[in-house]
Amino acid sequence: MSSKKRIAVIPGDGIGKDVIPQAVRVMQAAGAAVDLTLFDWGADRYLADKTTVPPDGFTMLARDFDAILAGAFGDPRVPSNIHAKEILLGMRFKMDLYANVRPVRLMDASLCPLKGVEPKDVDFVVIRENTEGVYGDLGGVFKQGTLDEIAIQEDVNTRKGVERIVRYAFEYCANQRKLDGSPRGRVLMCDKSNAMTHAGGLWQRVFKEVAAEYPKIETEHMYVDALCMQMVREPRPFDVIVTNNMFGDIITDLAAGLHGGLGMAASGNLHPGKTSMFEPVHGSAPPIAGKNIANPFGAILTAAMMLAHLGMKTAAEKIEGAVLEAVRQKKTTPDLGGTLGTREAGEWVAEKSSRR
């Protein structure tokens, strides 16, 4: 049997189709031992034959692959966004990928809009709960279209769901190091328990219980509004942040602004021991799709994150080092101040990765 890791590649829609080919070429240039299978799931396929996910698609992914590299889903030709929901939320929910891990690492001071902030000052991670909250689409609308219309959106928080994501954050803190090699040491739980008392109360209780099992790790709590302010005033103290699905979605866009914008942000959707899925934080960005201007570095760093997860640390480090060099030398797309196109930036990083 081949020792190569089997990767399902799903570029999806919009700029997903621009950036994922660059992530693939960089992985190959870095010599990663991967066996890639391309899937056409996305808006084009849906519009052609109404398939979002083929029958048993998620079972097949979990059975036949070590990991999934996905691009982005969303297309103006499918206003209901049904295919995106079924593919992306389907993978997260049906494959139970409960931990969305989003590293926030500043590669170069020039990428941060804050004054006097050095790369070592922004090196934290957001661990976002990925299977519950408001994303289950529970609720309904009553008396629609009348002046008495009522819309209810439920926020689901289960004991099991909260406990496993909080525990994941403590384990991450105990086992992962910062970029400079220093240990991590603090987990911050972010909620809105002053307003959302029932859900917040559960998070608060579980956080305290799990924290007691990790006496060496410092703990902290912040309301999400205060955290947003703190993130742009003084990001240095942040280390590991754990939060629910929606707050995680929002604060990671804010955090992306600290390290170069959405085009730089990587993420993994994980369930320890199961086939996990890796995707850049950005969406399909229809206005810039197909124009060779999207920044491929978020997707490339996502591929590096996937390789590290699969035990290919050397290839991952080669890729991260090459992206760092590209950023420092301004071999980037215009969003980072460079003049290269998506393909040219990918080619530059691929070439550097192959030489490291």
Handedness of CA 266, 171, 163, 274 (dihedral sign): positive
Residue 113 interacts with ligand ATP (CB under 6 A): yes or no? no
Toward ligand ATP, which CB reaches closer, 220 or 253? Answer: 253
Between strands 123-129 and 99-105, the pairing is antiparallel
Catalytic, 192? Answer yes
Supply the minimum distance, in Å, between the C-beta of residue 280 and ligand ATP: 7
Catalytic residue among 5, 17, 192, 318: 192
Q: How far apart are alpha carbons 91 and 10 in whole angstroms?
A: 12
| Active-site pick, 5, 13, 18, 135 | 135
CA atoms within 13 A on the CB side of 211: 17
- 170/348 with CB nearer ligand ATP: 348
Smallest gap, in angstroms, from Cβ of residue 335 to ligand ATP?
4
Q: Does 283 bind ligand ATP (CB under 6 A)?
A: yes
Region of 56 (left: φ > 0; alpha: ψ -120 to 50; beta: rest) is left
Q: Is 346 in the site for ligand ATP (CB under 6 A)?
A: no
Binding residue (CB under 6 A) for ligand ATP from 298, 319, 350, 352 = 298
Which residue in 201, 287, 290, 311 binds ligand ATP (CB under 6 A)?
287
Site size toward ligand ATP (CB under 6 A) is 14
Of the candidate spans 45-53, 100-108, 153-161, 282-290, the one that interacts with ligand ATP by CB under 6 A turns out to be 282-290
Residue among 7, 15, 67, 68 that touches ligand ATP (CB under 6 A): 15
Residue 249 falls in the annotated catalytic set = yes
Residues 237, 242, 244, 247: what is their CA dihedral angle, to the nearest 10 degrees?
Answer: 20
Q: Tell me: does residue 294 bind ligand ATP (CB under 6 A).
A: yes
Give, in order, the Cα–Cα distances in Å from 96 to each of 88, 242, 291. 12, 18, 35
Residue 168: active-site member? no
Binding residue for ligand ATP, selected from 74, 161, 235, 248, defined by CB under 6 A? 74
Q: Of 9 and 206, which CB lies nearer to ligand ATP in the complex structure?
A: 9
| Residues in 259-278 at the binding interface with ligand ATP, rule: CB under 6 A | 262-263
Q: How far is CA 337 from CA 127, 195, 326, in A?
A: 29, 41, 11
Shortest separation between residue 100's beta carbon and ligand ATP, angstroms: 13
Token duo for residue 340: 């290269």
State in Å, rounded, how far the first CA of the chain is from the last one: 29
Q: Give the other-Cβ count within 10 Å of 148's Cβ.
A: 8
Radius of gyration of the chain (CA): 20
Is residue 274 part of the annotated active site? The answer reads: no
- Tell the smallest beta-carbon distance from residue 294 to ligand ATP (Å): 4
In DSSP terms, which residues pair with 34 in a beta bridge? Answer: 5
In the complex, the smallest distance separating the C-beta of residue 266 from ligand ATP, rounded to whole angstroms, is 11
Q: Which two tokens stand for residue 100?
A: 């969305």
Among 171, 335, 344, 351, binds ligand ATP (CB under 6 A): 335
Both structure tokens of 207: 């956080």
- Backbone φ/ψ region at 266: left (φ over 0), alpha (ψ -120 to 50), beta: beta
Catalytic residues: 135, 192, 225, 249, 253
Q: Which residues bind ligand ATP (CB under 6 A)?
A: 15, 74, 262-263, 282-285, 287-288, 294-295, 298, 335
